Amino acid sequence: MVLTKYTPMMQQYLRIKAEVPDAFLFFRLGDFYEMFFDDALKASKELEITLTARGGNKEDKIPMCGVPYHSAAAYIEKLIDKGYKVALCEQTEDPKHAKGVVKREIVQMITPGTAVTTVNDRENHFLGSAVQLNGERYSIAYLDLSTGESKASVVESEDLLLQEMSLIKAKEIILPASVSEKLIGKFRDRGITSISKVEQEELFFDETLLSLLEGEEVKRGISLLLHYTTDTQKRALDHLQQTEQYEVSAYLQIDPNSKRNLELTENNRSGAKKGSLVWLLDETVTAMGSRQLKSWVERPLINQSDIKERLGLVESLKNHFFERESLRELLQNVYDLERLAGRVAFGSISPRDLVQLKKSLQQVPFIKEQLKEIPDNGLIKRADEMDACIDLADLLDAAIDDQAPITIKDGNFIKDGYSEELDQYKDASRNGKKWIAELEQKERSITGIKSLKIGYNRIFGYYIEITKANLTSLNDDRYERRQTLANAERYITPELKEKETLILEAEEKSVELEQQIFQVVREHVKQEIPRIQQLAKEISEIDVLQSFAFVSEKRHYVKPVFSKTKQLDIQEGRHPVIEKVMNMNEYVPNSCKMDKERSMLLITGPNMSGKSTFMRQIALISVMAQMGCFVPADYAELPVFDRIFTRIGAADDLVSGQSTFMVEMLEAKHALEHATDNSLILFDEIGRGTSTYDGMSLAQAIIEYVHDSIKAKTLFSTHYHELVELSSKLKRLKNIHVAAAEQDGKVVFLHKVKEGPADKSYGIHVAELAELPPSLINRANELLTLFEAEKEAGESREQMTLFDITEKTAVDESAVLKEIQELNVLEMTPMEAMNELYKLQKKAGKLLAESK
């Protein structure tokens, strides 16, 4: 592009735009952010704003659009939500002193991962990074810029890399410029669409931030992340905390598919929080507690002593109702300390924010006292170690008025008595205004004009205003004329002018001094950010523990115990979320026992009877226990699982174009490759996505492989009743079923798990519940009776005579019968079943016609 054909200002724009080709450049011109060329064309569509043009003749017109400076935040948020980046370009010199074009430069890049002003208070907002080390090993890291927390690790495979970034729901991924497009495609397949490649791969070794990390490898991912963050934000990031190193294997690993199947953080229907395990357990009071809870749900513990410590604290809080309720009331007045610390570091803290910080800190001594009221050494120790930051609370209490405004521009937020100089200015201003009020009364009395008033505006200052109707009552030489209006005259006096100077000077100096004092207070708070962040961490954990105690008491949960022999014994367990949605008295609890001699359970029973619910509740009880929460059961003895794998549900993966059966096989493969004898596997109806014999063969082969090679605790539900015979061949496999009964020809689901296999499938009864046409149901019952009679007679399928036909059509009859046999009736929708029966009816009609 030839720059010389454009004006100097436009040349400046093009030079700056070249620095950020992948971002919208918000170019500050007066009270607007303007965009030009392709940015304008795209932004006008995305933001639905008017597209105009700049320039002279038609050929030289430049597409242009803009948004007001004061309302730009909403437009920026809209672009960020759509995955775009925005570069803010501001004037960096006073136009009065500019020689030529005013200097401008990019002062901040706002990206999906670095946006901090519009984040959900109860959710983390993570920016992730990954650097390949050797083979498939990666150094990974993630950072929440709004709270300053960051973590780093080394993972041993690409699968674990993708799993970790999906688990944290990274808003943006930072990768080296050398990354392969194949890996980028895998991130996009998992819904991470905002990906930034960084040319500069030099390490950002900040000894303070990285001091907790061991080894150079683990530092590479966080170094790339910090380099990107400092390069884009171009402002102080003093709130960044020391990066914590973690091992993926130190937590119960739940892959994204299993996390979704178990609905840990969101429900499968709408993706909302309601209906998830987090929704059930979130009785936290603070925003930071809610974020901590979600983190604990996503990363349950596997260290048994750590789990027992949490359970002990929850038990003490659960058993002391009044102290816990007092604690909840105190936590109600604690604001989001983590994000307040972030705003201090960014320089965007307001006087009102500091009031919130002060009020939060003032609760801490009472929180400490309340914790010590509970006779638990763990809680008492936490209370003793908690830094109440009393000195900081006292400073803020002395300096900032409780009724402080949101912004500092108008002043009146520093308390009287904090600064002697400021008090003098305030006194002069207040006394001056008092003098003016007294002057107004005095002049009304002298002139006899009751409507006389003293007013003020920024152009003329203070004035005496008299309506024209009252001018005859005024002596001409009493006042000096200042301004003539349509219905009034305005005057001044030397004395009023003198007081005006004193008052305005005092107000101006007062506002200026207040802003200076505020900067000093803010800098002092900035130095205390590490203390605030540590306090935030401690309070957030207490909040989650009391939330567990609150839910456990309210819903009658019990404290789990952990088996040394890997035994699982759950007595009268319940699915926690379904129980909450239903009436508690209507929920049917179920028990489950597994040990060394009983490590696999083959579950049969009709669809809709509760097989999947039973399987999920076993997994959720295990997850809750390893988080340190009580569980929904009368008694629960559990092993400590290292991984949980699930294959539940049958939905095509439309994004990647994979069928139900392929998704089944890929998820089964993932479990079979990574499960150990300390894992929990849930397989629901494996093999239903293909033909009957293929599916049954694969299901049996998987069962045998898990039983003989992996030996993991496994629950396997199936509609292949032939598989129940495996219990006589596989010594650790046992049959159980979810009971159902017939009543007046109708099926009644009992939702009760019992020993042994199911006696029948009740598939047609389920179809009847789905209200398929009566004629179709009748025909299905006729066919079922015929098939059962054939089975009892021991006749082969080829010999069975379904229709009265001649030998000539035997081959055609066999094909029809085979087609009927391979129909997966239980998994069909009503419309699919009707279509298949219609096709079979036509074929049968043709066979009958040929036999006559």
- Yes or no: say if 184 and 175 are a contact pair by the CB < 8 Å rule: yes
Rounded Cα distance, 281 and 616, in Å: 16
pLDDT digits (tens, 9 = 90+) for 623-637: 999 999 999 999 999
Mean local confidence (pLDDT), 428-454:
88
In the Cβ-directed half-sphere of 199, how many Cα atoms lie within 13 Å?
2
Q: What is the C-alpha separation between 406 and 351, in angstroms, rounded?
A: 6
Which of 747-756, 791-800, 827-836 is least confident?
791-800
What's the average model confidence in pLDDT over 738-765? 76
Which pLDDT score is estimated for 762?
65
Find the angle CA(383)-CA(386)-CA(387) to the nearest 5 degrees: 145
Instruction: Give the Cβ contact number of residue 474 at 10 Å.
Output: 17
Q: Is the pLDDT confidence value at 651 over 70? A: no
pLDDT interval class at 160 (50, 70, 90): very high
Distance, in Å, from the CA atom of 616 to the CA atom of 672, rounded to the nearest integer, reads 19
pLDDT of 698: 87
- For residue 322, count CB atoms less than 10 angstroms from its CB and return exposed for 0-12, middle for 13-18, buried for 19 or more: exposed
Is the pLDDT at 652 greater than 50, yes or no?
no
Q: Is 504 helix (H, G, I), strand (E, B) or coil?
A: helix
H helix runs in 190-303, sequence order? 217-233, 256-261, 277-281, 287-298
pLDDT at 574 over 90: yes
Taking the C-alpha atoms of residue 718 and residue 604, their distance in angstroms, rounded to an integer, is 6
Element (H, E) at 143: strand 138-144
DSSP string of 613-668, one letter each residue: HHHHHHHHHHHHHHHT--BSSSEEEE---SEEEEE-----BTTTTB-HHHHHHHHH
Q: With pLDDT > 90 as the criterion, what percentage of the chain qualifies?
A: 57
Query: What confidence tier does 787 reach under pLDDT thresholds 50, 70, 90?
Result: low
Backbone torsion region of residue 522, taken as left when φ is above 0, otherwise alpha when ψ lies between -120 and 50, otherwise beta: alpha
Torsion of CA 123, 125, 131, 133, to 10 degrees: -20
Distance, CA of 689 to CA of 719 (rounded, Å):
12
Distance of alpha carbon 628 from alpha carbon 302, whole angstroms: 10
Distance CA 89, CA 93 (A): 12
Amino acid making up residue 499: K
List the structure tokens of 641: 């699982």
Question: Do 638 and 561 meet the contact criterion of CB atoms below 8 Å apart?
Answer: yes
- Give the Cα separation of 306 and 408 in Å (integer): 47
Other C-beta atoms within 10 Å of 54: how many? 15
Place 569 in a pLDDT band, splitting at 50, 70 and 90. very high
Task: Determine which of 47-61, 248-262, 836-850 has the lowest per-residue pLDDT on average.
Answer: 836-850
CB 526, CB 238: distance < 8 Å: yes
Which one-letter DSSP state was computed for residue 125?
-
According to DSSP, residue 306 is labeled: H
Of these ranges, 9-23, 494-508, 693-707, the one predicted with the greatest mean pLDDT is 9-23
State the pLDDT confidence band at 200, using cuts at 50, 70 and 90.
low
pLDDT at residue 795, rounded to an integer = 45
679 is in an annotated binding site: no
Q: Any known ligand binding at 600?
A: no
pLDDT above 80: residue 546 = yes
Establish whether 605 is an annotated binding residue: yes
Q: SS3 for 750?
A: strand
Q: Is 635 exposed, middle or buried (0-12, 13-18, 19+ CB in 10 A)?
A: middle
Phi, psi (rounded to 5 degrees) for 645: -120, 135
Q: Is the dihedral of CA 720, 726, 731, 737 positive or negative?
A: positive
- Split at pLDDT 50, 70, 90, the class of 848 is low
Q: What's the number of CA atoms in the CB half-sphere (13 Å) around residue 82? A: 14
Q: Give the neighbor-by-neighbor strand order of the sheet with 600-604.
A: 253-254, 643-647, 680-684, 713-717, 600-604, 733-743, 746-755
Give the Cα separation of 617 and 258 in Å (integer).
Answer: 13
pLDDT of residue 243 exceeding 70, the answer is yes
Residue 561 has pLDDT above 90, yes or no: yes
Q: Is 590 annotated as contributing to ligand binding?
A: no
Strands of 18-92 (E only): list them: 24-29, 32-36, 52-54, 62-68, 86-91
Whether the pLDDT of residue 392 is over 70: the answer is: yes
d(CA 191, CA 187): 7
User: E strands along 193-257, which residues?
Assistant: 195-198, 244-245, 253-254
Other Cβ atoms closer than 10 A to 685: 24
494-535: pLDDT as tens digits: 888 888 888 888 878 888 899 999 999 999 999 999 999 999
The domains located in the chain, with CATH, are: 3-110 (3.40.1170.10), 126-250 (3.30.420.110), 282-389+528-554 (1.10.1420.10), 420-523 (1.10.1420.10), 561-763 (3.40.50.300), 773-851 (no CATH)
Task: Give the count of alpha carbons within 13 A of 490, CB side only.
Answer: 15
Q: What local confidence, expressed as pLDDT, does residue 804 receive?
A: 41
Task: Tell whether residue 611 is among the known ligand binding residues.
Answer: yes
Handedness of CA 643, 649, 650, 654 (dihedral sign): negative
Mean pLDDT of 199-213: 72
The pLDDT of residue 238 is above 90:
no
Work out the average pLDDT over 751-763: 80
**Is there a contact between 227 and 198 (Cβ–Cβ < 8 Å)?**
yes
Least trusted range by pLDDT, from 215-224, 253-262, 304-313, 749-758: 749-758
Residue with tokens 């559990």: 638
| Average pLDDT along the chain | 87
Q: Does 696 score more than 50 pLDDT?
A: yes
Model pLDDT for residues 53-96, shown as the tens digit of each residue:
987 555 678 999 999 999 999 999 999 999 999 999 999 888 77
Distance CA 273, CA 169 (A): 14
pLDDT at residue 780 is higher than 80? no
Six-digit token string for 165: 């970034």
pLDDT at residue 318 above 80?
A: yes
User: Rounded to an integer, what distance in angstroms lies between the CA atom of residue 291 and that of residue 544?
Assistant: 9
Q: Which pLDDT does position 802 carry in this prediction?
A: 37
Residue 469 makes CB contacts below 8 A (sequence gap 6+) with none
Global confidence as pTM: 0.82
Q: Are 651 and 241 a contacting pair, CB within 8 Å?
A: no
Structural tokens at position 309: 């410590």
CA–CA dist 657, 653 (Å, integer): 6
Q: 620 near 592, Cβ under 8 Å?
A: no
606 annotated as ligand-binding? yes
Distance CA 408, CA 414 (A): 10
Q: Annotation-wise, does 510 bind a ligand? A: no
Query: In terms of C-beta density within 10 A (0-12 exposed, 13-18 middle, 19 or more buried), how is residue 785 classed?
Result: exposed
Q: Which is higher by pLDDT, 728 or 660?
A: 728
Q: What is the pLDDT of residue 653?
A: 42
pLDDT band at 791, cuts 50/70/90? Answer: low
For residue 811, is pLDDT > 60? no
pLDDT at 198: 86
pLDDT digits 0-9 by tens, 397-429: 999 999 888 888 777 889 999 998 888 888 887
**CB atoms near residue 418 (< 10 Å):** 16
Provide the percentage of residues in the chain whose pLDDT is more than 70: 87
